[in-house]
Structure 1
Amino acid sequence: MTALTQDYQITWEKLPDDYKLPDDPVDNINQPALAAALTESLELAGKLPSDALTPTNYGICANLNGKTVVKAPDWAYIPKITVNREEVIRSYTPQLEGDIPVIVIEFLSDKDGGEYSSKPTYPPGKWFFYECILQVPNYAIFEPVSGNLEVYRLDQNTGRYSLQTPNNNQHYWIAEMNLYLGVWQGTRENRTGNWLRWWDESRLLLWGSELVEQERQRAEQEKQRAERLAAQLRAAGIEPQD
């Protein structure tokens, strides 16, 4: 499959079996936890279809002017893959193997502005790849220490990203997912700090640990209610039945 963007010829081809993918480590210890948290709440809320893909530091590929380009976003949401999952173990090629990601998220690193690189020459920068080659509708850049979140939306008229303004709750609407993305402060997996979270129109999508705690509190409240009722019955001379 081939497309022309300005002076660039984009071809969607699977990576050759002998293509050597980069084996760079993630930038810091927090990134895997941040990425896993984004996926977990979607899955537990029933918002992660079986044919969706949420890759983390995983190669997304295109062929630009005859040269292979691979970028590995820190997290992405691909609504649907159209091939067997065994075929996308090493990498994923949009258009050929399923949908374009509807959002890619980069956790800001100390590298030379990589998340903002619009370099069009080979190898192209991340920003250029997401904006002009993949044409991903939403691009988010998150700085975990400060909690600063920037969300860019692809303007269909200009073909360029424009910085979005959050709502009154400081959440950003991701239309393709029918969810809001925002920053939340708290503790998970022994890490206290800023996290990216999902909200729907009425509530925060919870993690598994939060659902367990919610159920524990519900059971405790039910126990207390039963004990109060039993005490009232005894006060009235009635022995409650088990």
Structure 2
Amino acid sequence: DASIMDGKTLNAGAVAGVTNIKNPINLAYEVMENSEHVLLAGKGAEEFATQRGLEIVDPSYFYTENRFKSLQKVKEREREKSGNKTAANYDSFIKDSKFGTVGCAALDKNGNLAAGTSTGGMTNKRWNRIGDSPIIGAGTYANNATCAVSSTGWGEFFIRGVVAYDISALMEYKGLSLQEAAAEVIQKKIPKMGGDGGIIAIDHEGNVAMEFNTAGMYRATMNKKAELQIGIYEK
């Protein structure tokens, strides 16, 4: 699943449930720039990728031993808990599973914002599950008037909370700063619903927010002077 949004035009593109596209974010860009749609899924998205000349790979290309082992561990834990499948136990199970999302939010020299998000989804997801990453307004949002946001976390809650757009809306309608808006959504609204995760974001003035309510979030920023900052656990 992947999505991208242009803050200048509010144009956006997204793909969901693709299995053989080497770089799904490139396909999301093609949907944005070269189709009349916003979101394509499954075989139709893959057919569009072929028409646009994107690189197609066998699904085995995405195999890594580390992620395969993670999947086996999650499946084993699920089998162990199968005799006591309460909603609370399942919630705990999901929260302990890792999410593999990659996101970016950027401000260019002309003052234009953009955001993009790509993910394989939660480990051991079911039934063609689609999370927040390809949903404009939940996993990705960009608007030159406010900010660009990319989300990561428990997608079901980020969809219900329309997290990326909510941060922008708090800035636009309530006059909050990016940091204030991000903290309001990630530290208050999402936990109150029962979800967890985080966002990376940048506003139209170049201020950055990287807010999360989990133990850690892999993240980094670089400014116009090429000064790089990297973080994992500490706030």
Bigger relative contact order (CA 8 A; separation at least 6): 2
Output the TM-score relative to the length of structure 2: 0.27
Structure ranking higher in helix proportion: 2
